[in-house]
Structure 1
């Protein structure tokens, strides 16, 4: 003969416990999505910084350096290295 299980006075209805679990899961998944999005953003920024420091800045530095050296050499050829070269 089976005895019925004793009921506690603080029983929780199954529907409310399922809702609580769903809200916890959705909260956790939103946090996880936000964390992953932030992580991807940080990686993208790091890749962009790497691109700038390895490719873009050296390219423009080389280009500006050559341009400036040609301008200075032309100025030296026309004015010499006297006071006029320095704009004095």
Structure 2
């Protein structure tokens, strides 16, 4: 290696104005960069763990429950339409709130 190649890695001398700015800063730092990095990594790690827990909750609990609930609702609706089409009957739910509550309880029963 020649001297010109190694000299390019040396920092250029600072001008007097930059030295004045550095001298005006407080001499003691309130926190070190290592503490900041550690704090950021802990916060980031906790955030990723929270996201993972939310993902597990969604995929293991909510999606199967909602799929089962809406699947039953779709099946009841489809069966009612088929019966009205095939036979001259009219399917009427006397209490829609009770029907929805029963569907929710049935969907949750076997989870």
User: Corresponding residue for 2:69?
Assistant: 63
Alpha-carbon shift at residue 77 of structure 1 (Å): 0.1
Alpha-carbon shift at residue 26 of structure 1 (Å): 1.2
For the pair shown, the structure with the greater C-alpha radius of gyration is 1
Alpha-carbon shift at residue 38 of structure 1 (Å): 0.3
How many residues align? The count is 59
Structure 1: 4+ residue segments shifted above 2 A: none
Name the SS for the 1:36 alignment partner: helix
User: Corresponding residue for 1:32?
Assistant: 38
User: Corresponding residue for 1:78?
Assistant: 84
More helix per residue: 1
Q: Where in structure 2 are there 5+ consecutive unaligned residues?
A: 1-26, 87-111
Greater length-normalized contact order (CA 8 Å, ≥ 6 residues apart):
2
Please give the TM-score of this superposition, normalised by the length of structure 2: 0.50
Q: Where in structure 1 are there 5+ consecutive unaligned residues?
A: 1-18, 81-88
Alpha-carbon shift at residue 34 of structure 1 (Å): 0.2
